[in-house]
Structures are given as structure tokens and as C-alpha cells.
Amino acid sequence: MFRPELPEAVTHLQAFVTPDAPLAQRTRPGDFLTVGDRGGDVKEYERKQLLERVEREGATVGADIPETIEVQGEEVDLREFVFEIKRRETVPAGERDRVDQAKKNLRRERLQRKQRLEDGEISRAEGEELVTAIVGIDRALNALESLGPTDIEGEAQAKEAADRKRWMSFLKQALGREDAGKRGRL
């Protein structure tokens, strides 16, 4: 294995390197491990770092939705499904059930993978794969959650009813009817 000369201050750190993999696949920013660590069980501090990457506020920014993902033993073309649903301006009622079920399954899968990351006996590489999958699932869930309402007419009626209620409350307060009963009872 090729070992480049490193300045004395960083000789105790080395990127996780697989000699026959392309450089872009071998290293990523922040993926430094100790020299003796070559893929055994993930250390506790590494596990915390991986979990922090999953929970980071902007974790999904720039993340890709996985092409396919195995959810409950079934291979799902996740990217195609999300893009198919997002292409439509509104989701028909029949498709809404399918989308809701997909979101439930994705949340369940995310939870299982996160629990494996938290508690499972995994290698650093497996941990990295879990983080990538979880962030991809989060990205897909964000895309599915941002879908517009399907029942536009029902939502308009609900907004109108809420506006009417707020207006009546304002009028009662402005005309003093709400406080009138309270003043007479003092």
C-alpha cells in the first residue's frame, strides 16, 4: 500500500484508503481514521459522528434521492416514484393513499436504519452506507411532504370558515359584547 509522507503533526491520522478504488470513492472530508483502524466495529466516537451527520439541520441539502432502496424486503425505485409524484401539480385522491403508505414505509425504514446505526455492530463503511441511505430517505420524505394539497376545494372552505370565525370574534370584541357579560357581574 502506498503511504505518502505526511507532516509530523498529522502522522497519527490517515484517510481510510482502499488502494484499488478511485480517489473520490476512497476519501471524503471528515473521514479520517486512526492509522490502525481498518474497518472493524465502529468506535463510539465515530458512531456519534455518523449520527450527528444524520441529524444535522442541512443534511439533505445537496443529497440525492437513492435510485433504488430496499424497504421491508422489497426493492423500490424510490427516485422514479418521487419524481413521478412531483411531476403532477396535484396528487389525485387514489394516489394520495399510495403516497401516504410510501411515506409511512420510508419513515419505518429510516427508523430501523437509524437504530442499526445507533446500536448495531457495524463497520465504519457500513455506517457510512447507513448515513447515506438515511439522508437519501430524508430527502425523499422532504420531497413527498412538500406535495400540494389534493382537496383544494375542501381546504378553501376550511380557510373561509376559520376567517369567518376570526372575523366574528373580532367584531364581538370591538363592539364590546364579549366583555359586556363580564362587566355586569362584578
Highest mean pLDDT among 5-9, 19-23, 85-89, 103-107: 103-107
Give how far the C-alpha of residue 149 lies from the chain's centroid of Cα atoms, to the nearest Å. 21
Is residue 149 within 8 Å of residue 155, measured between CB atoms?
Answer: yes
User: When comparing pLDDT for 177 and 62, which is higher?
Assistant: 62
Per-residue model confidence as pLDDT tens digits over 52-61: 998 888 887 8
Question: What was the pLDDT predicted at 183?
Answer: 52
Confidence of residue 13 (pLDDT cuts 50, 70, 90): very low
Question: What was the pLDDT predicted at 26?
Answer: 45
* Those residues with Cβ within 8 angstroms of residue 55's Cβ, 6 or more apart along the chain or in another chain: none
Per-residue model confidence as pLDDT tens digits over 72-123: 888 888 889 888 888 876 777 778 888 888 889 999 999 999 999 998 899 9
pLDDT surpassing 80 at residue 148: no
Q: Would you state the cell numbers that stand for residue 37, as one nine-digit string? A: 483502524
User: When comparing pLDDT for 146 and 2, which is higher?
Assistant: 146
Question: What was the pLDDT predicted at 50?
Answer: 92
Strand partners, 34: 13
pLDDT surpassing 90 at residue 179: no
Helices (H), the chain: 23-26, 44-55, 78-87, 93-119, 124-145, 152-175, 177-183
Mean pLDDT calculated for residue range 134-155 = 78
